[in-house]
Amino acid sequence: MKTTVTTTLIPGLIPLVPGSGIFFTMDNFVQGNYSKAVDLGRETLFVTAAITIGIVFITSISQIIIRILKYKTILQKYQHHHKAHKHKK
């Protein structure tokens, strides 16, 4: 079954979104716990950055693999076609 990367990726990422981190950051900020808010905000930012970097990395690697596989398929077709013409001569 063929499906796009986005269709597979988004449902898998929803549980990873650091919503509670954002909530507790804002909660501590509103309550005046600025040090705790900054710590939670920094942690939430790092988690978000890690998720983003992972998405970019996996998407890039999958595109490279797809291109290599397409290239191999085209190369095999060319080699097969080239061999067929050699035998006719």
In tens, the pLDDT along 30-69 reads: 999 999 999 999 999 999 899 889 888 988 998 999 999 9
7, part of any domain: no
Could you tell me if residue 53 is inside a domain?
yes
- Rounded to whole angstroms, the Cα distance separating 71 from 21 reads 44
- What's the pLDDT at 81? 76
pTM over 0.75: no
Does residue 56 form part of some domain? Answer: yes
Q: Is there a domain that residue 64 lies in?
A: yes
Quote the domain boundaries for residue 37.
Answer: 18-88
CA 89 to chain CA centroid, nearest Å: 50
- Single-letter residue type at 76: Q
Q: For 66-87, write each residue's pLDDT tens digit.
A: 999 999 998 888 888 777 666 6
d(CA 44, CA 40): 6
Would residue 79 count as lying in a domain? yes
pLDDT at 19: 86
> Looking at residue 29, what is its pLDDT?
95
Please give the Cα distance from 28 to 41 (Å, whole number).
Answer: 10
Percent helix / strand / coil, the chain, rounded to 5: 90, 0, 10
If one counts the domains in the chain, the total is: 1
Q: How many CB atoms lie within 10 A of CB 53?
A: 10
* In-domain check, residue 78: yes
**Residue 55 falls within a domain, yes or no?**
yes
62 within a domain of the structure (yes/no): yes
